[in-house]
Amino acid sequence: MPAPAGGDDLPAAQQPVWPDPVALEAAVSTLGTYPPLVFAGECDVLKERMAAVSRGEAFVLQGGDCAETFASATADNIRDRVKTILQMAAVLTYGASVPVVKVGRMAGQYAKPRSSDSETREGVTLPAFRGDMVNDFEFTPEARTPDPQRLVRAYHASSATLNLVRAFTTGGFADLRHVQEWNRGFVANAAFARYERLAKDIDRALRFMSACGADFDRMKTTEFFSAHEALLLDYERPLTRVDSRTGDLYDTSGHFVWVGERTRDLGGAHLDFVSRIRNPVGVKVSANADVDDLLRVIDLLDPEREPGRLTFITRMGSRRVRDALPTIVERVTASGAPVTWVCDPMHGNTFESSSGFKTRDFEDVVDEVRGFFEVHRGLGTHPGGIHVELTGNDVTECIGGSEKILDADLGTRYESVCDPRLNHQQSLELAFLVAEMLGQD
Ligand SMILES: O=C[C@H](O)[C@H](O)COP(=O)(O)O
Ligand SMILES: C=C(OP(=O)(O)O)C(=O)O
């Protein structure tokens, strides 16, 4: 049964206008009868891992689609995204000798905040696409009308996704001894070849350790956590449950949930909601964030100053990160709050290309991560991780990378229904570059 989380009277930004309140009520109460997708104890484990990240003892990799879709929740797509994250984690772990906490932006990332409530094409104006949890991407009045039954479909799609992710990560697929096999099926290219060499090195090291009698049982499985933006409160609230062990509330729609840049207003329903749950939580922070507001956010979300509880996911843009981040990190650190710092190098670097596609330049993505590391190294704080929009597919959505995707190439395979993602090769390239940055201690 859902727990009455409260806060329903507070203003909630970025919510859809559901046309049929009776249908909404029915969908919300159906969700309330469904089992939790994650167990509170797993959320606590992730909180411990995030605490290690905040102390500089581990690095967190959060990655996945900008917006998952029901149609793309196929076995192949899920497998390739998981493989990409496992490969990136192997590169980071081996390259920088640091444990990597793996978190998929998966199994719940079905709702999107938008800059505008509507979209106009050739003189026709319709509601904006707000994610498959709300409406359909197709540009017709029927498809764009918010349908609460989609909340229920999002639960089932998330459940199926998580089921497969759990199967992959605990059933032997993620065994580090298969590190070379994770490259199979991807297009051969420069990053692929570099990974192939790294995988051979890891394999050789594992064989050596095996010959020395090491016990590899713990390598058969890997921890993998789910995360999404806690945007649609009509989805998150009915999935919020009382933990029978402690009596505390947990949002059981995912292990880690975050509040976005557009919904993190103090006094708003989103921060209030995450203040009531005990999951590890994140808040996106742009270059425009007011540091006094952020200190109030800390007091609201982490009054006990619990390591691992609160992550600030900074997304400032490559041009602003070096100016805007230092004051924020300094003031937060001076306050004594054990915040975990993660860099999202995607959302501050979006622009419209001359061919009309929403895109990001791989160089800007890398430069923002570099700026993030520079700032933290300069202040003696820990650059805790990265949060990236990526796919295991060979899409052409972000320009640049060693494949040198150009503006003119974007139309070749642009599949995102919202923001541009790094493709498989760009994701691996980023991992190699971040491993170098991490290794420079
Ligand atoms: O993923 C983030 C936001 O949903 C997205 O950047 C908003 O995009 P829009 O400006 O096209 O609405
Ligand atoms: C909308 C997102 O980011 P932000 O809130 O930082 O704009 C996102 O990560 O999907």
Which atom of ligand 1 is the closest one to the Cα of 350?
6
Q: Mean per-residue pLDDT for 311-339? A: 98
The Cα–Cα gap between 406 and 399 comes to 5
* Tens-place pLDDT, residues 163-184: 999 999 999 889 888 898 898 8
Nearest CA-CA partner of 341 in 295, 399, 282, 288? 282
How far is it, in rounded angstroms, from Cα 99 to Cα 92? 8
- List all residues 6 or more positions away from 129 whose beta carbon is below 8 Å from its beta carbon: 112, 114, 119, 135, 136, 137, 144, 417, 418
Report the alpha-carbon distance of residue 73 to residue 160 in Å, rounded: 8
Over 60: is that where the pLDDT of 4 sits? Answer: no
Residue 5 is predicted with a pLDDT of 59
Note the pLDDT of residue 440: 84
pLDDT in tens, 29-61: 999 999 999 999 999 999 999 999 999 999 999
Helix, strand, or coil here: 229?
strand
CA of 132 to the centre of ligand 1 (A): 14
Q: Ligand 2 centroid to 8 CA: how many Å? A: 23
> Which numbered atom of ligand 2 lies nearest the CA of 262?
5
Q: Cα 119 vs. chain centroid, distance in angstroms?
A: 26
Residue 310 scores a pLDDT above 70: yes
Query: Per-residue pLDDT averaged across 16-22, rounded?
Result: 97
Residue 429 pLDDT: 95
pLDDT (0 to 100) of residue 185:
82
Identify the three-state secondary structure at position 384.
coil
Nearest to 86 by CA among 179, 218, 196, 225: 179
Residue pLDDT, tens place only, 288-297: 999 999 999 9
CA dist., res. 301 & res. 282, Å (int): 10
Distance 285 CA to ligand 2 centre (A): 9
Over residues 320-336, mean pLDDT: 98
User: What mean pLDDT, rounded, does the chain reach?
Assistant: 95
Nearest atom in ligand 2 to the alpha carbon of residue 113 is: 1
> What is residue 109's predicted lDDT score, i.e. its pLDDT?
98
Residue nearest to atom 2 of ligand 2 (CA): 260
The span from the CA of 250 to the CA of 5, in Å, is 10
Atom of ligand 1 nearest to the CA of 260: 2
Query: Which atom from ligand 1 is nearest to the alpha carbon of 358?
Result: 11
Rounded CA-CA distance 224/222 in Å is 6
Give the residue-averaged pLDDT of 181-193. Answer: 86
| Residue whose CA is at the smallest distance from ligand 2 atom 5 | 260
pLDDT score of 164: 97
Question: What pLDDT, on the 0 to 100 scale, is given for residue 441?
Answer: 66
Ligand 2 centroid from CA 348, angstroms = 9
> What pLDDT is recorded for position 177?
87
Per-residue pLDDT at 3: 58
81-118 tens-digit pLDDT: 999 999 999 999 998 999 999 999 999 999 999 999 99
Cα of 361 from ligand 1 centre, angstroms: 16
* Average pLDDT value for residue range 135-162: 98
Does ligand 1 come within 6 angstroms of the Cβ of 419? Answer: yes
Measuring from each residue's beta carbon to the nearest atom of ligand 2, which residues come in under 6 Å?
A: 66, 113, 229, 260-262, 284, 315, 347
Written as one letter, the residue type at 193 is: A
Query: What's the 16 CA to ligand 1 centre distance in angstroms?
Result: 15
pLDDT of residue 218: 77
Residue closest by Cα to atom 7 of ligand 2:
261
Name the band, by pLDDT with cuts 50, 70 and 90, for residue 7. confident
pLDDT at 2: 60
Q: Are 420 and 359 in contact (CB under 8 A)?
A: yes
Mean pLDDT of 70-86: 96
Chain centre to alpha carbon of residue 14: 19
> Best mutation site among 66, 274, 284, 391 for ligand 2, i.e. most ligand atoms within 8 A of its Cβ?
284
pLDDT at 190: 87
* DSSP type of residue 114: -
pTM for this predicted structure: 0.97
Neighbouring CB atoms inside 10 A of 347's CB total 21
Residues 183 and 192 sit within 8 Å (Cβ to Cβ): yes
How would residue 404 be classed by pLDDT, with cut points 50, 70 and 90? very high
